[in-house]
Amino acid sequence: MLSRIPCWFLVLLLGGPVQGGPMTSPHPSMTDQELFWGADQYDFSVVLPAAGLECFWHFAHRGERFYLSFMVQWVTGVGHDRHLSVTVNAPSGLLVSTVDDAKGQIDFEAEETGFHQMCFSNFHNRFGTMQVFLSFGVYYDGHQDLAASKDEEKKKKEEVRKDLNNTLSVIEDATHKVENYVFHIFRHYSFARMRRSADYYLLLSNSQYVTWWSTALSLLVVTSGYLQLLFLKRLFISKTCTEDERPRC
């Protein structure tokens, strides 16, 4: 029976297009504006191993402000270097910004909608680890949904026609400005906290360094003094001598 079936029918049956493939989008009916929209920020610490690389992704819309602040808190190992290599790439893979320092800030306006990549490389330290404090996010200046913006524009026009000196609109604008100022104050406070923690870890490491070296040098001085005394004592012959004899070397 199988020999009578045409070959082209078997090819279509076995190698035909599959309709139940994997979905590339979790919600095909929803736009990216509905999936990811909101002013969010993150701050945490991450430990990078020797010559290690860590990458993070954060979503941003086109025209919105993307910021990143980082600071190296402590470094361990032999011949350690506090420099950290940081690169930020756009969703298309283009390099947006790069910094090679112990601390820094990156702030730019997103030209593409999608997940921006942030990579932190510890290639300066081949034998030491480092802890880095990160603070990144996206803040929106005057963002509103399209439908809501149209409704609000109509309401504003009606309010302007009714009363040009509307107290509520003035209060609303002032509230948005204060909220924006408070957000930027929080950013500067976060960076100051990173600097304070880095200074604390540096002071702690210097204290341990001085303590260990002081202990080692004290033991070295005591040991060298004891060996010198033992060496000088061996230069003299210790034997019982009479009153007329004296000990000789």
Helix, strand, coil shares, percent, the chain, to 5: 40, 25, 35
HEC readout, 121-134: ECCCCCCCCEEEEE
Query: CB of 64 within 8 A of CB of 111?
Result: no
pLDDT tens readout for residues 114-141: 999 999 999 888 888 899 999 999 887 6
Query: CA of 38: how far to CAs of 24, 89, 106, 210, in Å?
Result: 23, 21, 20, 49
Strand order across the 65-75 sheet: 40-48, 130-139, 65-75, 103-109
Among 79-83, 99-103, 146-150, 235-239, which stretch is predicted with the lowest mean pLDDT? 146-150
pTM > 0.85: yes or no: no
Task: Report DSSP state, residue 91.
Answer: T
> Which pLDDT score, from 0 to 100, does residue 240 have?
63
Query: CB of 62 within 8 A of CB of 152?
Result: no
Q: Which helix (H) or strand (E) is 169 found in, with range?
A: helix 167-234
Fill in the amino acid letter for 126.
R
Tell the CATH topology of 36-202.
Answer: Jelly Rolls (2.60.120)
Instruction: Tell me the two tokens of residue 216.
Output: 């080692």
Q: Where are the domains of the chain?
A: 36-202
Please say whether the dihedral angle defined by the alpha carbons of residues 122, 124, 127 and 131, taken in this order, is positive or negative.
negative
Fill in the amino acid letter for 3.
S
Q: For residues 41-53, give the mean pLDDT.
A: 89
Among 79-93, 169-183, 212-226, which stretch is predicted with the lowest mean pLDDT? 169-183
